[in-house]
Homo-oligomer: A and B are copies of this chain.
Amino acid sequence: MMQTYALGIDVGGTNTAFGLVSRRGEIIEKGTLPTNTWATVQDFVHAIALRLQPLVDSVGHNNIVGIGVGAPNGNFYTGEIAFAPNLPWKGVIPLARLLQDAVHLPCTLTNDANAAAIGEMAYGIAKGMADFLVVTLGTGLGSGFVANGKILYGHDGFAGELGHVIAVRGGRVCGCGRKGCLETYCSATGLVRTAREWLLQRTDETELRAIPPDELKAHHIQQAAANGDALALEMYDYTARILGETLADVVALTSPQAIIFFGGMAKAGDLLLAPTRRYMEANMLNIFANKVTFHASALPDADAAILGASALVW
């Protein structure tokens, strides 16, 4: 059987990971390169093409079906990245076409959360599931919805912007220019904003006061909560309440079988997911009560994004 490999590329704000993946989901070889050190996207594409060449040569060009790319604000229909706030290239970038021309392989692109959902369907917890969603909890909050066994792209290819549902009307200013978006509360950045606000407004004792506010990161709060720090635990509870309330609404609209959490903050595991689930159930419409399962992604950490991107190709 020919063409049993795919290239998977996960474009992140800081680094880009790539790999050669077999149809069974084995990563044969992989690597990374910086995303944000290139003057133009052409330079970036040139650099990644040079890095992909040895992988292509190792199994032969004819044995590779194509390239799958997950990227922030990536659009499946157009193959373009549109106005991604966390990438160095502004405006609309025809990344799929540029990669296709450089590597001489067909290239399919989607946003990173959809790539994660495809990865879960192909190789992860969502195998055999027709209706579920993946929530990516990292710097921001992304989501990929699967309905009737297919990614829900919507008319424009931009469906799944759960991070920009208004969770708190008139709330925190968001990078999108509006106020109260879910990701301004429920993401690594959101958690840090909660901490900085509360450390100013409140007088509770907490080990977080030992860290200069400008240097405070989500992992400090996670560590403090793991140590039993009451204020840090309350920050997680606050984050979980807003996320759980919003997910109850999402369930009412889409009736998923499962919600799968992916990315840095999902690694906090029960610290975040247990109270999120509790708040979701407390706000759930009766016909959906205690039906939707909750999972942290079980795909091997560094590989999940590459697997998800490569799975676009099949």
Q: CB within 8 Å of B: which residues of A?
A: 73, 82-83, 130-132, 143, 145, 147-148, 150, 152-162, 164-166, 169, 176-178, 245, 248-250, 252-257, 283, 285-288, 291
Contacts and interface: CB of A to CB of B under 8 A. Distances in A.
5 contacts: A145-B253, A155-B291, A164-B285, A166-B245, A176-B286
A255 to B, nearest CB: 2
A256 B178 contact: no
Contacts of A249: 165-166
Nearest to A179: B283
Contacts of A176: 285-286
Contacts of A148: 147-148, 150, 152-153
B285 A154 contact: no
Nearest to A129: B155
B285 A178 contact: yes
Contacts of A152: 147-148, 152, 254
Contacts of A161: 252-253, 255, 285, 287
A156 B285 contact: no
Nearest to A157: B255
A166 to B, nearest CB: 6
A155 B255 contact: yes
A283 B157 contact: no
Given A147-B147, A156-B255, 15 more contacts: A82-B287, A145-B254, A152-B152, A154-B254, A154-B256, A155-B255, A155-B256, A155-B257, A156-B287, A157-B255, A160-B253, A161-B255, A164-B252, A164-B285, A166-B245
B255 A253 contact: no
The 6 closest A-B pairs by CB, nearest first: A154-B255, A159-B255, A155-B257, A161-B252, A131-B155, A165-B249
